[in-house]
Amino acid sequence: MPTFDFKSLDTTHVTIHGALDFDDRADGLGVRRLPAWTRPQVPQGLDVMARMPSGVRVQLYTNATAIALEALTTSLRFAAGEEVRVPFQLQIEQTLHTQYMVGGHAIKPNPNAPQGFEIVRGEPGEVCFSGLSDDMKFCEIWLPHNAYVALRKLRLNDGANLGELPFDSRKKWVHYGSSISHCMEARVPSETWPGVAARHAGMSLMNFGVGGQCHLDQFVARTIREQECDLISLKIGINVINMDSMKERVFTPAMHGFLDTIREKQPTTPILLISPIYCPSAETRPGPTIPDGAGKFQTNEANLNNGSLTLTRVREILEEVVELRRQAGDGHLEYFNGLELFNADDRADLPDDLHPNPEGYIRMGDRFFEKFLRAFVPSIESNQTN
């Protein structure tokens, strides 16, 4: 059985799309979605989320009828005795195969210390996708969106081989957002809402959705600026309210600065600025959002946070930013109202009043494709051939 070590793979035959840095550890190759130069600048909370490979795919070209991946996962475990099954998916064209890895490390909250946790050590595991056709084919293995992964070995059936990766002709989409773009609540990696929309549109996704950490950090703008892509989308606002991290005075110039940085090297790349989806507690009341002990997130009284932002005001500001920049000559910038993806009528799929459930994320992806990507992809293909 041909076996390949992830630490020494030839990138002409295997790539890890969406990972810009790696941790070379004794237990495997850890994946990181931000480049190495950002390490000294990244707050710990963001670093934790950037190491979860939402949207990251192992890409290979092979005639294998069976593909196995060995890895050590680290996942969250909330209930005593709970068996965590970490999802991996193999995509060949539009067909998806799902396998679950059991075991690995587990992070358990410490009931005696509300901010504490303990790590339960486990062993590496393996997922195997079998029954595949024996022709040469482009394969993508979607890594877990809600666990840490140290990649160890890639195995093929006897007689199979790896070929040089063909050119990926799909349009490239770079997306930045919060936990609602990270989508840890999704059932499987391909069912994050950006993943659903990208698959509908036949696009190659790079996802910078980072739970709780979408605060217009300049190192993220510089990272996005360097990516070769056909579309950039920025879903901004909810984390600023969650943490009350910016008042209006700071938020508006920070948004302009983020766009300025991207435009330094992407002057004509289409950028879509997406405002927040529905969140009942923060629509007209400012943050921070705080868990209430009953599984919901609540905000403070408006008069206690003079100058803080609400979702209603954030949507107005983002639309104003786009209009001002278009008037100044940026015809490649558009605004998209997040309520078109998820609104008050969808509240049944918002169990904690903040994060959609798996069905909600799928609906968001379907809607984004129908309302934007369905027309957008043919339009850029037409522009690029003219």
Contact call for residues 218 and 259 (beta carbons, < 8 A): no
The structural domains of the chain, with segments of one domain joined by +, span 3-163, 172-385
pLDDT tens for the chain, 386 residues: list them. 899 999 998 889 999 999 999 999 999 999 999 999 999 999 999 999 999 999 999 999 999 999 999 999 999 876 656 678 899 999 999 999 999 998 899 888 766 665 667 788 899 999 999 999 999 999 999 999 999 999 999 999 999 999 999 999 999 999 999 999 999 999 999 999 999 999 999 999 999 999 999 999 999 999 999 999 999 999 999 999 999 999 999 999 999 999 999 999 999 999 999 999 999 989 988 877 777 766 777 776 654 567 789 999 999 999 999 999 999 999 999 999 999 999 999 999 999 999 999 999 999 999 999 999 999 999 887 666 55
Contact call for residues 333 and 325 (beta carbons, < 8 A): yes
Note the pLDDT of residue 342: 98
148 forms beta bridges with 74
CATH of domain 3-163: 2.60.120.260
Note the pLDDT of residue 3: 94
Topology adopted by domain 172-385: Rossmann fold (3.40.50)
Note the pLDDT of residue 76: 81
Taking the C-alpha atoms of residue 306 and residue 21, their distance in angstroms, rounded to an integer, is 41
The answer to whether the 3-163 and 172-385 domains have the same CATH topology is no
Is this structure's pTM higher than 0.75? Answer: yes
Which residues lie below 8 Å from residue 162, measured CB to CB, with a gap of 6+?
A: 2, 4, 13, 14, 60, 61, 62, 156
Question: How many other β-carbons are positioned within 10 Å of the β-carbon of residue 251?
Answer: 24
